[in-house]
Structure 1
Amino acid sequence: MLGFSENLAADRLAGDTPAAAADAVAALLTEAERQSPALRRAGRQAMLQAGFEEVFNHLDPYSRYMTPDEARQGRDRRLGTNDLGLTLANASRRQVAIGAVTPGSAADRAGLRPGDIVVEADGIALSAEQLDEAHSILEGPPGSSVLLSIRRGRRRLEVLLTRSAAPTLSVSARVRDGILWLNLPHFSAATPEQLDRALRETTSADAPLGVVLDLRGNRGGLLQQAIRVADTFIPAGTMVTTEGRHPDSRRRFTAAGPDLAAGRPLIVLVDGRTASAAEVVAAAIGDLGRGVVVGSATMGKGLIQVLVPLPNGGELALSWSRILAPRGWPLQMLGVLPALCTSRGAEETARNLATLGTPDSPMAIPLARARAARAPVPTSEVAALRSACPPAEGRDADYAVARAVLDSPELYQAALAR
């Protein structure tokens, strides 16, 4: 048990400003470290982390303290640096699989494929139960390397990858069967420019049937990146609003145009791993009737964090506002519901496709209820709406469903939000 001096007690009680509170906490940590050998052995960093975690446990799921290393890795990820060119996904039996590989990246050059199981990274076993930690293990300084232990079927591979010191492609584009397929496995600072280039280089004559924007497995990025991506397709209208307690947290983002896809039919593929900024893009395109969302319910991460730098190089991520879709419903917990659900198996997907855009569609009522929802949405209502199309990982059948919708202009038009 720690005892505190009268001076410390006075410091602790003096003032109610943020600076005074910070001074009181610093004094408390200093005194605790002086009196406790165990705390001295743990170190100031561990004490800070434990203290912040206890505070944030009583707030929302996303407010947290980041150590200096975690803060640096987060900055690198937002800038698109230190990239291996792969994303991770959940696999069966709590395994971690490669979800997507960026063309031309280190992972692509090493021959890695989606579906490969990543057993270890630098000797550290990876688990799908801690997917964010698995992503963190793969991050590091530009030019450094990581040794991956890969299982492909019955084969075991050891692959050494060197982290890129410059942004790799976060947008891959290909034209097939009259459709422009755009894959965005992650967001970076370079994503909007790369997307613009892909659309400008592919004319309507090259891809007359339309565009498929694949956001499955995309964990998101900065709100500004999402707004620029959505603005690429949306010619006009409010794409997203944010609201919070502070007046500065209330903002409205309006499309400036032009639509670089030139009005071509647009399908957005999503799955249960689609999160944050990627959900903003899907919600804007779906709500404004610019395209049809296909897949499963998304993750439901709809809070914006502000990053507060700390003197030790760490950062505080503090939830600042909630994100609202164009029609006013909150993304937090609810996520984006697709107009065409593919997560209930082939038979139910066929039924969804046959009734798409009609009152008989299994998604018609859940979509109407979701768009009418207002924050805070009761937990029971969230569960009921998401159960209409349970979150699941994307599957190859999603491509065939997207193609089927684009093959039928009447079906596509009927499915657009009105």
Structure 2
Amino acid sequence: MQSVLAVALEAVLERHLERTAPADLGLWALRGLEVLEPQLRPELQAGTLLLSGPDRLLAARPVPGLPPDAPPEAVAMPLAMALSALFEAAWRASPALRRAGAERMLRSAFEELFNHFDPYSRYLSPAEARAARIRRIGQAGLGLRLAAGRGREVVIATLTPDGPAARAGLREGDRVLAIDGVPVSAQELGLAATLLEGPAETPVSIRLQRGRRRFSVTLRRILVPPDSVHAESRDGILWLRVDGFSNATDRKLAAALRDGIQPGRTRGVVLDLRGNRGGLLGQAVAVANTFLSSGVVAQTGGRHPDAARTYVAGGPDLAAGLPLVVLVDGRSASAAEIVAAALADRGRAVVVGSATMGKGLIQAVVPLPNGGELLVTWSRVLAPRGWPIQGLGVLPELCTSLGAEATAAELQQLRQGNPPMARVLARQRAARAPVPASEVAALRGACPPAEGREADLAAARALIDMPEAYAAALP
């Protein structure tokens, strides 16, 4: 536990947006134990952390007395040693803590500590950290998804292009009989999916049936990035839905643009980011870069010198200047907001939908010795024109959250060359952090956050069908 606390405390002291006294960190962590054992009473007196039970003092440890400019690593280890001793005293004195276990104690301590910071810094247990890594980089698998077929059958539902299964000639609809010798059925679909997963570069044997023919293949698992990009061409419009920003999202989007745009036939592109909760910052920048040939994409800054960065596009615009509409809703967050803000601020796209979530804080991922991870908020994101995404979110040029009649009226104003959101957007882009809560509420109230709806798609199509309205809506 001491090593986990040392790494975590050093990360918070060094990187978090807010500078915090080591003594406060220690006290907050101890208070987390009260959630599991209400009879504990942690205190900070004259530079000493005290931990008492219902009738006696259990332990006391001084907070490291170092100068304010001492390096974080010089503070973190002595503080971690003090906390470990106090945690050990609490463990010995409390049956409730022993029942909860060391991992639960750690989680409770970190939860109380981060309650004093922002909503996004948090601790991930080893199991949660593994799941998060899979979401970020993909899991080792075969590039296929299973589904229930007729009766008790398990069939291949989808294949990832160029994945191991597709390269081996497997087809959608093939029936899966057994995996590594274990028979599978639709009643245990979760077991079948689990059997397919495993460490990268390890083999897996699958028994299949296609028609009347039964056969076996042995495939090697590879790291398969999540399938985050979906493309469809309809009525001269290329519709691209991006569910998240994980490894290879930019490459998949670029491939979808190259394959989907038909010169002389494609009239516009719709980038659907509704419900997209974000992901990797680098992927957000790369996706925005897919549509921009030059200029600033985003800026970040924080207390740590490495948090200050300016991201610049290098092109080329793979959509070749075609009209671009970005769909957002109240669930679009983080990396999705960075993309929408960049494309709108740069005048490359018209944003349609509602106010987005307003998550403009970036977390550093800190690996911990126990296999867990710490997510530490260390930088703020600014749009290309300098306004903060945190709190404000992205506001659309065409609002659909006020109802069908209001959307139709806004479209009519755009056709007449009068952008209805122009004044609100000018106020937003002039805002600088910290933005007063009253101003945040007023700006977001102009187009309240809402879940995506069919009207968003119709509005996007209308803008591409009406070049004069699209031109008027461009920032």
TM-score bracket, shorter-length normalisation: 0.7 to 0.9
- Range that drifts further, 363-372 or 13-22: 13-22
Alignment of 1:10-409 (within 5 A): 10=61, 12-13=63-64, 17-81=75-139, 143=196, 166-205=224-263, 207-356=265-414, 360-409=418-467
Q: 1:53 to 1:297 in 2, by over 3 A?
A: same
Structure 1 Cα separation of the partners of residues 79 and 320 of structure 2: 54
Matched, 1:9 2:60: yes
Q: Percent identity?
A: 58
> What is the CA-CA distance between 1:165 and the residue it aligns to?
6.9
Structure 2 Cα separation of the partners of residues 49 and 273 of structure 1: 27
Q: Secondary structure of 1:355's match?
A: helix
Structure 2 Cα separation of the partners of residues 265 and 410 of structure 1: 11
- Higher radius of gyration, 1 or 2: 2
Q: Deviations over 1:181-216 (max 9, x none)?
A: 111122221211111111112334264311100111
> What is the CA-CA distance between 1:412 and the residue it aligns to?
1.3
Structure 1 Cα separation of the partners of residues 231 and 131 of structure 2: 27
> What is the CA-CA distance between 1:143 and the residue it aligns to?
3.5
Q: Secondary structure of 1:349's match?
A: helix
Q: 1:412 to 1:361 in 2, by over 3 A?
A: closer
**Number of equivalent positions:** 357
User: Aligned letter for 2:133?
Assistant: R
Q: Deviations over 1:126-158 (max 9, x none)?
A: xxxxxxxxxxx9xx96747xxxxxxxxxxxxxx
Structure 2 Cα separation of the partners of residues 275 and 354 of structure 1: 29
The answer to whether the 8 A contact 1:298-1:337 is kept is yes
Q: TM-score, normalised by structure 1?
A: 0.78
Structure 2 Cα separation of the partners of residues 357 and 332 of structure 1: 32
State the match for 2:149 in structure 1: none
Q: Deviations over 1:205-228 (max 9, x none)?
A: 264311100111111101001000
Q: Deviations over 1:20-66 (max 9, x none)?
A: 11222222111211222211111111111111111111111101111
User: Aligned letter for 1:345?
Assistant: G
| Structure 1 unaligned spans of 5+ | 87-101, 111-121, 123-136, 145-163
Q: TM-score, normalised by structure 2?
A: 0.69
User: Aligned letter for 2:318?
Assistant: L
Q: Deviations over 1:388-414 (max 9, x none)?
A: 101111111211111111112222122
Tell me which stretches of 4 or more aligned residues in structure 1 moved more than 4 Å: 1-8, 10-16, 82-86, 102-105, 357-360
| Structure 2 unaligned spans of 5+ | 1-39, 41-50, 68-74, 146-156, 161-171, 174-186, 198-221
The answer to whether the 8 A contact 1:82-1:142 is kept is no
Q: 1:304 to 1:260 in 2, by over 3 A?
A: same
Q: Secondary structure of 2:326's match?
A: strand
> What is the CA-CA distance between 1:85 and the residue it aligns to?
10
> What is the CA-CA distance between 1:167 and the residue it aligns to?
2.9
User: Aligned letter for 2:433?
Assistant: A
Q: 1:168 to 1:59 in 2, by over 3 A?
A: closer
Structure 2 Cα separation of the partners of residues 363 and 416 of structure 1: 11
